[in-house]
């Protein structure tokens, strides 16, 4: 079935009003994009911090309606719901029905990280190199949760885990994946030799996605996933946190308390220029702090002080 797509420009301040009106008149889906995405002013947004919903200052909002919706009648209903908004700037087009999520995953190709780690979409044949006896292969269906390995923040963490495995630092240990998203890091750690993994995420969709991906990889008995309020208060020899720098700053004490003395931590989701403040923030609890870079993104690693 085709759809009618409405597109308009709005600001961060007016976005909630526009979305409320669109929901009221029966929008099937609403999508937000950065209006300045093609300029140097783009502000990167990945996963929000706890209780945060960050947005760009200027947005392009799109909403889908059934294909037989009358555009003029729709505009009249929207204007009646909130006449203070500029509905005249809305444009319409017909779009074909398509499974957008599956279409994206069809373009997702196998990727290698470090010496042994492979991330392979569930519906893709294993590359020859990923069939090696010591290959650590994660079959992934990213679904709606963040984390497919394609972003440098995730890639930095996967390469770190691969390096830990080469040192023997994962074997038999439990790994905490804080901000687990799709579960990609927890599952990679298990494939690389960790005994168990614990995932924590503030998005219920991420909890479901991690559980689904664990089952797809036959690892469901070795993974536990929690929302933050349900997370057990434990310490771990290995902790990885791929979240925003602002959240890493706010949660520094929480994350430090999760790492056992002598344990290892990796912090990612950090834009170049944000690392110095975080290095200072984590220095009291961690030694051997080191920084790695992938494009505009940084990773900090360290060892928990005794």
Binding residues: 154, 179, 201, 242
Question: Concatenated DSSP letters for 184-198?
Answer: HHHHHHHHTT-SEEE
92: how many CB neighbours lie within 10 A of its CB?
15
- Helix (H, G, I), strand (E, B), or coil: what is residue 250? helix
Lookup result for tokens 């944000």: 274
Instruction: Using only the alpha carbons of the chain, give its radius of gyration.
Output: 22
- Helix (H, G, I), strand (E, B), or coil: what is residue 25? coil
- Helix (H, G, I), strand (E, B), or coil: what is residue 2? coil
8 A C-beta contact, residue 180 and residue 186: yes
Residue 264 has which token pair? Answer: 């290892």
Q: Is 158 exposed, middle or buried (0-12, 13-18, 19+ CB in 10 A)?
A: buried
8 A C-beta contact, residue 7 and residue 29: no
- C-alpha to C-alpha distances, 79 to 24, 27, 65, 76, 282, nearest whole angstrom: 12, 15, 16, 5, 51
DSSP-derived letter for residue 131 is G
303: how many CB neighbours lie within 10 A of its CB?
17
Angle at 266 between CA 265 and CA 267, to 5 degrees: 120
List binding-site positions for S-adenosyl-L-methionine.
Answer: 154, 179, 201, 242
8 A C-beta contact, residue 266 and residue 301: yes
User: What's the rounded Cα separation, in Å, for the pair 268 and 285?
Assistant: 17
């Amino acid at each position: 079935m085709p759809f009618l797509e409405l597109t308009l420009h709005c600001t961060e301040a007016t976005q909630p009003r526009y979305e409320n009106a669109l929901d009221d008149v029966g929008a099937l889906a609403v999508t937000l994009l950065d209006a300045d995405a093609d300029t140097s002013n783009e502000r990167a947004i990945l996963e929000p911090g706890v209780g945060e919903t960050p947005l760009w200052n200027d947005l392009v909002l799109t909403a889908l309606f059934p294909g037989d919706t009358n555009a003029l009648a729709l505009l009249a209903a929207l204007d009646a719901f909130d006449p203070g908004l500029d509905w005249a700037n809305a444009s319409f087009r017909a779009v074909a029905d398509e499974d957008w999520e599956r279409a994206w995953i069809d373009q997702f190709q196998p990727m290698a990280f470090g010496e042994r780690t492979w991330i392979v979409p569930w519906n893709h044949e294993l590359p020859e190199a990923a069939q090696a006896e010591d290959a650590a292969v994660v079959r992934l269906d990213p679904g709606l949760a963040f984390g497919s390995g394609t972003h440098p923040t995730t890639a930095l963490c996967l390469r770190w885990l691969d390096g830990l495995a080469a040192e023997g630092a994962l074997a038999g240990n439990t790994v905490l994946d804080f901000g687990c998203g799709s579960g990609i890091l927890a599952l990679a750690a298990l494939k690389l030799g960790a005994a168990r993994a614990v995932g924590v995420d503030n998005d219920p969709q991420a909890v479901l996605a991690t559980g689904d991906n664990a089952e797809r990889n036959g690892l469901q008995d070795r993974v536990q996933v929690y929302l933050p309020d349900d997370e057990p208060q434990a310490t771990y020899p290995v902790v990885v946190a791929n979240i925003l720098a602002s959240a890493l700053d706010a949660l520094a004490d929480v994350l430090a308390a999760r790492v056992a003395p002598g344990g290892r931590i990796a912090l990612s989701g950090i834009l170049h220029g944000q690392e110095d403040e975080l290095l200072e923030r984590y220095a009291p609890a961690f030694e051997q702090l080191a920084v790695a870079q992938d494009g505009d993104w940084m990773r900090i690693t360290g060892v928990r002080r005794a």
